Amino acid sequence: MAELTYRDAVAAAIAQEMERDESVVFIGEDVGAAGGVFKATVGLLEKFGPTRVLDTPISEQAILGVAMGAAMTGMRPIAEIMFSDFFAVSWDLVANEIAKTRYMTNGQVTLPLVIRSGNGGGSRFGAQHSQSVENWAMAIPGLKVVAPSTPRDVMGLFAAAVRDPDPVLFFEHKSLYSLKGEVEDGEILDELGKAATRREGKDVTIVALAAMVPRALAAAEQLASEGVEATVIDLRSLVPLDVSAVAASIASTGHLVTVEENPRLCGWGAELSSIIAEENLFDLDGPIVRVTTPHVPLPAADTLEDAAMPSASRIVEGVRRSLA
């Protein structure tokens, strides 16, 4: 057992899969010699050499085009898009080509590739470098969408993503890179589409993802001091989506609060709420409450960014509204 930062877990996860499988290669802007703009890939170039860790020009289209071609010819590429906002620059490749190739070739061509990216706000990077875009990807059939909240889950979920036969978008939250956590020794492999219960409680179910998980846990601590016991579920992935874990919890607690960093309109919490309302309505004893970022570009000013993003206090207020 070792304590790793979320940042170091990224490098360790990539190294684990590159050591296991020689068909795994890693490409992206500044991922090699510079060790990544967030220093999450330090040491990989030295360990695996320039034929397997390739620095690219500043072109998201080129990065993903190369990754797609490599996957089509039997390799398992890992591609980095430095900021998830930059998916917008190459969205045709992601949404129209990578997501649909297996379907349009009737399974004759598969694309076992992982696109990893720094996602989310809280780091004062401004509206064009702070978006939480996992809901963009969730809306596209053919993509799997993963967003870990702990160093240990970075390791296990990344291994599952690399070994998956389909394209996986792997969102690493920028504000979690310095987070430390215990990671067991040896190979770590999880299963995509399995949520994790981070805390058990009888009164309300709080569902969160990535950087919102620690905030949900902080809110649960505050609620416990008021006599309210909350279950906190970390979805870990949006596609596949573990609705069963949420439904089972709601059958016990009777209340659901979702916490999402996405702008409110069409966020993943809206989809989850819709499914629960349709399939588990009579298990609910109060309204479903969504705690989100408002539908605005994320500000760069620290006080405004903090006000826009879900906080522990806003989560507590959401729980109170559901219970009321």
Q: Tell me the catalytic residues.
A: 129
Q: Which residue has the tokens 């919102």?
A: 212
Measured between alpha carbons, how far is residue 186 from residues 45, 150, 218, 242, 272 in Å? 22, 17, 31, 27, 35
Task: Tally the C-alpha atoms within 13 A of residue 209's C-alpha that lie toward its C-beta.
Answer: 33
Strands (E) in the chain, as ranges, are 2-5, 24-28, 53-55, 76-83, 114-119, 144-146, 168-173, 180-183, 196-199, 204-208, 230-234, 237-239, 256-263, 289-293
Token digits of residue 70: 């490599």
Residue type, 298: L
Token digits of residue 138: 């969730």
Q: Which residue has the tokens 């209340």?
A: 255
Bridge pairing between strands 256-263 and 237-239: unpaired
Rg (CA), the chain: 19
Polymer length of the chain:
324
Please say whether the beta carbons of 4 and 151 come within 8 A: yes
- Which of 112, 99, 125 is CA-nearest to residue 38? 125
Task: Tally the C-alpha atoms within 13 A of residue 23's C-alpha that lie toward its C-beta.
Answer: 13
**Tally of CB atoms within 10 A around 22:** 11
> For residue 220, which phi and psi values (nearest 5 degrees)?
-65, -35
